[in-house]
C-alpha cells in the first residue's frame, strides 16, 4: 500500500455526513443482502438485529449508507422479491420493531438507509392476489389476467427465470415476468399507482431515506400483449414502455417533498434509454450496469466509462457505478476468469484464477471509486470474496436454477453468508453451525475481522480508498499513457492510473496517495490501480 510518507489520507466529509440535499451525487452505498450479512438470533439466516450489531463495521469502512434488499413478509419464492405485505417487516428478520431499531441506530451512526421497493410484482400471498385467485373480477384487474389460446398461454413471452411467463388458474392465465410466485401488477389500473404512493409515504414517514426500485423499467407492458417474435432477444413489448416515466414523475414529487432519494434498477438496451429515466423530474439515480458486464480490458472499460459520461453526465445527471450485486457473479470471479465455458455475461462460467481475480477486483474497485458519481458496493466485495461456484446442487435455492431445469446455476453463489471470523461456527456469521446456504471451508481465509487488522488487506484498501476518494473532484480528463493496457485520468488535483496488463507502468506524476498493489516508487504494478496527488 502506498501513501505519501507522513501524510494522512485526505479527509473530506462526504455530502451525506454534511447533510447536503444532493448528498447522493457522490455517495458510496453498501448493499446489504440481509439474509447473508449477520445473524443475531441463531437460525442460520441473517436478520436486522444482526445488521445493527455490525453497523460499526460499516462506519469504519466509511460508507455513507446502506441499501437493504427486501425484508417484507414474503413466502420466499425469490427471497423477498415476492412481497406479501409492503408495509410490514418479516418476523424472521425481527419485524417492524427490529426495523425501527435498525433505522434509529443507523441514523445515529450517520448512515442513510434505503429500502427496496418491488412494484412490478408481488407475492401470490399478497391479499390482492388471493382475492384475484378467488375469482374477484376487480382484484383480477389489478394483475394481468388473460384467457389462453386454447391450452396455450395468452402469448409467447418467457419469464426472466426461464419457462413461460404465464400460469393458468382456470380459463384465465396470469402474467409473471419472473417466478409464478411473483404475479405482475397491472400498472394501467390507477389503483396500483395509488397503492404504491401510499407504500412510499408509509416508509418515508417512518424515516427511510430512499428506495432502490426493483426492475422499474418493467412496470408497463405493451397494452395488446402481442407475441414477441425474437426470443431470446430483449423483449421490448414487455418492458421500457413510455408510460413508466409518468409514474416516476409522481414518485419523484413525493420523494422531493420528503427530501428522499430514489435509485432505479433499470435494464434497457442503450445508455441513452437509461438517461431518460434520469431526467431532472424522474429518478435521482439509476445503476450503470454497463461496467458490471465488462471484461477486464482497458479499451472496454474506457468505452463504457466514456458512454456513461457522454450520455448521462452530459445531461446533468450522475452515474451510479456498480461492479457487483446479489444477481451477478462476484468481481473476483468475473475478472479472474481465465477460460470461459458458458453462462450469461453477468454470471460467466469457467476456470477462475482467484489470486488474479482478487488483484483485478482491487484495482477495479479503486478505478470505480475515483470516477465522478456515486458507487454501490455489494457486501463481501470489500473483502475480495470470490463467488462460490461449486455449491452442491441440493443446496441451491435460486428459482433460476429450478426454472432452467438445472442448466443455469443462478445467483446463490454470491449470496452465501459472509465470513466474519476465520474460525468458529459459520465463520462468525451465526451461532448456528448450518447456514441457509452452506459456506465453503475456504471462506475463513477471507474473514472480515482478520482483514480489518491486516495491513494491505482488501478491506483496508477499501477503507483507505473511501477516505481518500473525496479528493477526486470535478470532471474527468483522460491522460495519455502511451500504453493500450493502461488508463489514466485526472479529476482536479487527483490522478487515477489503472494497469490492466501484467507489466508495471512508469507513472512519473504526483505524490502517491494509495495503490492496490505495492510497487517501486514512481511505478504502478501490473494489474493494479494507483492514485496520485498532483
Q: Could you give the residue numbers annotated as active site? A: 214, 265
Long-range contact list for 269-274, CB < 8 A, 24+ apart? 269/234, 269/236, 269/240, 270/311, 271/307, 271/308, 271/311, 271/312, 272/311, 273/240, 274/311, 274/312
Cβ 265 to ligand NOJ, closest distance in Å?
Answer: 6
User: In the complex with ligand NOJ, which residue's Cβ is closer, 155 or 322?
Assistant: 322
Output the CA torsion sign for 244, 246, 250, 252.
positive
Nearest distance from C-beta of residue 45 to ligand NOJ, angstroms? 17
Residue nearest to ligand NOJ as judged by C-beta position: 81
> Do residues 401 and 395 make contact, with C-beta atoms less than 8 angstroms apart?
no
Residue 495's H or E segment, with its range, is strand 494-499
* Shortest Å distance, C-beta 152 to ligand NOJ: 25
Q: At 337, is the secondary structure helix, strand, or coil?
A: strand
Closest CA to 126 of 183, 79, 169, 68: 183
> What CA–CA distance (Å, rounded) separates 16 from 196?
27
Of 161 and 489, which CB lies nearer to ligand NOJ in the complex structure? Answer: 161
Compute the least distance from the CB of residue 477 to ligand NOJ, in Å: 34
Rounded to 5°, the CA angle 34-40-45 comes to: 45
Helix orientation angle between 458-468 and 354-370, rounded to the nearest 10 degrees: 10
Nearest to 409 by CA among 333, 512, 309, 311: 333
Minimum distance, C-beta of residue 427 to ligand NOJ, in the bound complex (Å): 24
Nearest residue (CB) to ligand NOJ, 199 versus 467: 199
Burial 294-322 (b: 16+ CB within 10 A, else e): bebebeebbebbebbbebbbeeebbbbbb
| Strands 505-506 and 523-524, sheet pairing | antiparallel
* Sheet strands (E) in 99-228: 112-117, 145-147, 166-168, 172-175, 210-213
Q: Toward ligand NOJ, which CB reaches closer, 26 or 78? A: 78
- Grouping H, G, I as helix, E, B as strand and the rest as coil, residue 141 is coil
Closer to ligand NOJ at the Cβ: 269 or 474? 269
Q: In this complex, which beta carbon is closest to ligand NOJ, that of residue 71 or of residue 495?
A: 71
- The set of cell numbers assigned to 97 is 420493531
Task: Name the site residues for ligand NOJ (rule: CB under 6 A).
Answer: 78, 81, 118, 178, 214-215, 265, 326-327
Give the nearest distance from C-beta 89 to ligand NOJ in angstroms.
Answer: 18
Amino acid at each position: 500500500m502506498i501513501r505519501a510518507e507522513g501524510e494522512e489520507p485526505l479527509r473530506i466529509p462526504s455530502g451525506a455526513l454534511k447533510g447536503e440535499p444532493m448528498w447522493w451525487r457522490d455517495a458510496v452505498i453498501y448493499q446489504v443482502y440481509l439474509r447473508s450479512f449477520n445473524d443475531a438470533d441463531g437460525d442460520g439466516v441473517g436478520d436486522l438485529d444482526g445488521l445493527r450489531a455490525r453497523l460499526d463495521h460499516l462506519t469504519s469502512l466509511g460508507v455513507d449508507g446502506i441499501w437493504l434488499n427486501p425484508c417484507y413478509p414474503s413466502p420466499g419464492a425469490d427471497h423477498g422479491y415476492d412481497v406479501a405485505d409492503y408495509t410490514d417487516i418479516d418476523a424472521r428478520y425481527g419485524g417492524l420493531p427490529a426495523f425501527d431499531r435498525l433505522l434509529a441506530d443507523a441514523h445515529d451512526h450517520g448512515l442513510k438507509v434505503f429500502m427496496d421497493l418491488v412494484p412490478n410484482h408481488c407475492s401470490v400471498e399478497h391479499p390482492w392476489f388471493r382475492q384475484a385467485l378467488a375469482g374477484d373480477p376487480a382484484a383480477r384487474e389489478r394483475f394481468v389476467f388473460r384467457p389462453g389460446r386454447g391450452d396455450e398461454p395468452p402469448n409467447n413471452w418467457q419469464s426472466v427465470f426461464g419457462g413461460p411467463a404465464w400460469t393458468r388458474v382456470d380459463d384465465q392465465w396470469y402474467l409473471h415476468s419472473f417466478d409464478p410466485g411473483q404475479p405482475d401488477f397491472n400498472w394501467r389500473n390507477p389503483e396500483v399507482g395509488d397503492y404504491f404512493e401510499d407504500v412510499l409515504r408509509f416508509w418515508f414517514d417512518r424515516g427511510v431515506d430512499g428506495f432502490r426500485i426493483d426492475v422499474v423499467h418493467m412496470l408497463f407492458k405493451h397494452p395488446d400483449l402481442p407475441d414477441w417474435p425474437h426470443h431470446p432477444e430483449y423483449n421490448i413489448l414487455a418492458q421500457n414502455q413510455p408510460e413508466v416515466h409518468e409514474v416516476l414523475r409522481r414518485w419523484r414529487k413525493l420523494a422531493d417533498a420528503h427530501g428522499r432519494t430514489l435509485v432505479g434498477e433499470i435494464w434497457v438496451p442503450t445508455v441513452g434509454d437509461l438517461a431518460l429515466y434520469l431526467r431532472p423530474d424522474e429518478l435521482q439515480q439509476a445503476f450503470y450496469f454497463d461496467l458490471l458486464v465488462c471484461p477486464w480490458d482497458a479499451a472496454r472499460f474506457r468505452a463504457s466509462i466514456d458512454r456513461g459520461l457522454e450520455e448521462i453526465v452530459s445531461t446533468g445527471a450522475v452515474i451510479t457505478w456498480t461492479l457487483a450485486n446479489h444477481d451477478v457473479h462476484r468481481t473476483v470471479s468475473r475478472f479472474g476468469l481465465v477460460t470461459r465455458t458458458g453462462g450469461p455475461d453477468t454470471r460467466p462460467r469457467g476456470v477462475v484464477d482467484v489470486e488474479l481475480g482478487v488483484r483485478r477486483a482491487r484495482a477495479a474497485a479503486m478505478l470505480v471509486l475515483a470516477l465522478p458519481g456515486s458507487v454501490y458496493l455489494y457486501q463481501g466485495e470489500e473483502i475480495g470474496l470470490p463467488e462460490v461456484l461449486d455449491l452442491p446442487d441440493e443446496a441451491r435455492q435460486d428459482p433460476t436454477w429450478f426454472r432452467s431445469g438445472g442448466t443455469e446455476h443462478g445467483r446463490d453463489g454470491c449470496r452465501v453468508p459472509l465470513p466474519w471470523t476465520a474460525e468458529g461456527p459459520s465463520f462468525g456469521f451465526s451461532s448456528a453451525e448450518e447456514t441457509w446456504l452452506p459456506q465453503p471451508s475456504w471462506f475463513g481465509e477471507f474473514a472480515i475481522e482478520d482483514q480489518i487488522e491486516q495491513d494491505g488487506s482488501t478491506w483496508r484498501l477499501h477503507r483507505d480508498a473511501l477516505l481518500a476518494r473525496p479528493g477526486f473532484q470535478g470532471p474527468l480528463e483522460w491522460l495519455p499513457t502511451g500504453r493500450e493496457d493502461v488508463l489514466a485520468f485526472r479529476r482536479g488535483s487527483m490522478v487515477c492510473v489503472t494497469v490492466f496488463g501484467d507489466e508495471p507502468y512508469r507513472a512519473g506524476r504526483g505524490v502517491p496517495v494509495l495503490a492496490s498493489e505495492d510497487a517501486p516508487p514512481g511505478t504502478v504494478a501490473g494489474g493494479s490501480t494507483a492514485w496520485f496527488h498532483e
